[in-house]
Amino acid sequence: MRVFKFGGASVKDADGIRNVYEVLQKAGYEDVLLVVSAMGKTTNALEVVIKNYFEQSAELSSSVQEIKKYHNQILLDLFDDENHAVFEAVQAHFSDLEYFLAHNKSPNYNFVYDQIVSMGEIISTTILSHFMSFMGIDTQWIDVRNFVKTNANYRDAEVDWELTQQNIAQNIKTKSLNITQGFLGSDENNFTTTLGREGSDYTAAIFAYCLNAESVTIWKDVPGVMNADPRYFENASLLNQISYREAIELAFYGASVIHPKTLQPLQKKEIPLYVKSFINPLLPGTSVSKGVDLEPYYPCFIVKRNQLLISLSSIDFSFIMEENISEIFKLFHDYKIKVNLIQNSAISFSVCVEDKFENFNELNSILSKKFKVEFTENVTLYTIRHFNEEAAEMVETNKTVLLKQVSRETMQIITKEIN
């Protein structure tokens, strides 16, 4: 079996859905499992619903209606007959969403987030599955929540590999086209969980691992893995082949093409990963597999914006020792703040972090009791793999460099734009 993953950009409208069909005509669809994300910016729209649910109830109904309207237009563009079963199926999912909004009793934000935001994937795969059947492809729609089992760490759940392996190996049918949702799972009480934002790649890897798949292909709107994000760097170049090790390094530092957790299960079973273009599906793209690091031949740039640079120093000028650092990292863990760079001296400790759950203000009040805390918001972290002087100079031009760290193969630079 081969596993294909299609992200939100590939299914953002009716033309995108039709293009997925065309890609399958060219790449083949027998004995294939599709992992599919929510359509376009639906996840963002559902996050607005969540915000309105907690903060602006007067806006709640209209924010749900906007999402309904968006998906209904896609249905009307795909299906001539409004009596087609897909209309009723999609409406049933929206009814489930509205029932939850009306009857939920839990005040737990992360729990509510997962129950609501998951509807994007459920609806997109319902539409795609019906369209593939409409076009004559034997299709099996799979609710991933019945297969990928996790703990109850909502918004960043950990997979129960033993139970997930058992569910997938025993119940996934081969030969037909299987369509399921990325990003989702369920806990022991069958409440929906999510695997972290952009977790659909990880879902593809989970299924590939459990099915001993032939390969995984991630279909993107770029030719493959580039040495830099074309949005930020001109003349970005395609990496034709990279090893698991190099791909894991790039993912660890934040390369957006491959999710950080995707590669480990693939590497364990030496399942090759391909990153290819859904615009030009016959192009070779990038191959990620076991082997010597033949590429990249040139620097690779990774950009993480909206970072927070925090500097902690002891109030009494005493040394920052192991026990202090241990305590600080425990707090980062407790408040779900991701650390992307560390630098320490005798009496200070600096970290560049990502506060995606917006917990820093609360954490800052705790840290300030023991340390002098200074921080700079909205900084940018550049990571350059296989750096050279020219690459570093290009990053630093017209910016204020706040911190720089260099190792044998990697340079990281924290910058602030010059106003």
Reading the chain (419 residues) residue by residue, the pLDDT tens digits are 999 999 999 999 999 999 999 999 999 999 999 999 999 999 999 999 999 999 989 999 999 999 999 999 999 999 999 999 999 999 999 999 999 999 999 999 999 999 999 999 999 999 999 999 999 999 999 999 999 999 999 999 999 999 999 999 998 877 889 999 999 999 999 999 999 867 899 999 999 999 999 999 999 998 999 999 888 888 889 999 999 988 888 888 887 768 778 999 999 999 999 999 999 999 999 999 987 665 667 899 999 999 999 999 988 878 888 888 999 999 999 999 999 999 988 888 999 999 988 999 999 999 999 999 999 999 999 999 999 999 999 999 999 999 999 999 999 999 998 76
CA dihedral 196, 200, 204, 207 (to 10 degrees): 60
Q: What is the CA radius of gyration of the chain?
A: 23
224 among annotated binding-site residues:
no
Q: Where are the alpha helices (DSSP H) in 28-172?
A: 42-55, 60-78, 85-103, 109-117, 119-134, 161-171
Within its chain, how far is the Cα of 138 from the centroid?
29
**Cβ-proximal residues to 404 (8 Å cutoff; 6+ apart), any chain:** 411, 412, 413, 414
Tokens 């082997």 correspond to 291
CATH class as words, domain 2-213: alpha beta
Distance between CA atoms of residues 208 and 417, nearest Å: 42
8 among annotated binding-site residues:
yes
User: Which residue type does 230 have?
Assistant: P
**Cβ-proximal residues to 352 (8 Å cutoff; 6+ apart), any chain:** 307, 308, 309, 310, 339, 340, 341, 379, 381, 403, 414
Distance between CA atoms of residues 419 and 91, nearest Å: 49
Listed by start position, the domains of the chain span 2-213, 300-417
Residues 35, 69 contacting (CB under 8 angstroms): no
CA dihedral 149, 154, 156, 159 (to 10 degrees): -10
376 among annotated binding-site residues:
no
254 among annotated binding-site residues:
no
Whether the CA torsion 321, 326, 329, 334 is positive or negative: it is: negative
Q: What is the pLDDT of residue 294?
A: 53
Distance between CA atoms of residues 349 and 345, nearest Å: 6
**DSSP category for residue 221:** S
Could you tell me how many residues make up the chain? 419
Closest CA to 357 of 113, 168, 137: 113
Q: What is the pLDDT of residue 322?
A: 86
| Fold agreement between 2-213 and 300-417 | no
Residues 154, 8 contacting (CB under 8 angstroms): no
7 among annotated binding-site residues:
yes
CATH pick for 300-417 out of 3.40.718.10, 3.20.20.10, 3.30.2130.10, 3.50.50.60: 3.30.2130.10
Q: What is the pLDDT of residue 173?
A: 79
Cis upstream peptide for 230 (omega within 30°)? no
Q: What pTM does this model have? A: 0.85
Give the C-alpha distances (Å, rounded to integers) separating 341 from 127, 145, 311, 353, 383. Answer: 42, 35, 12, 7, 10
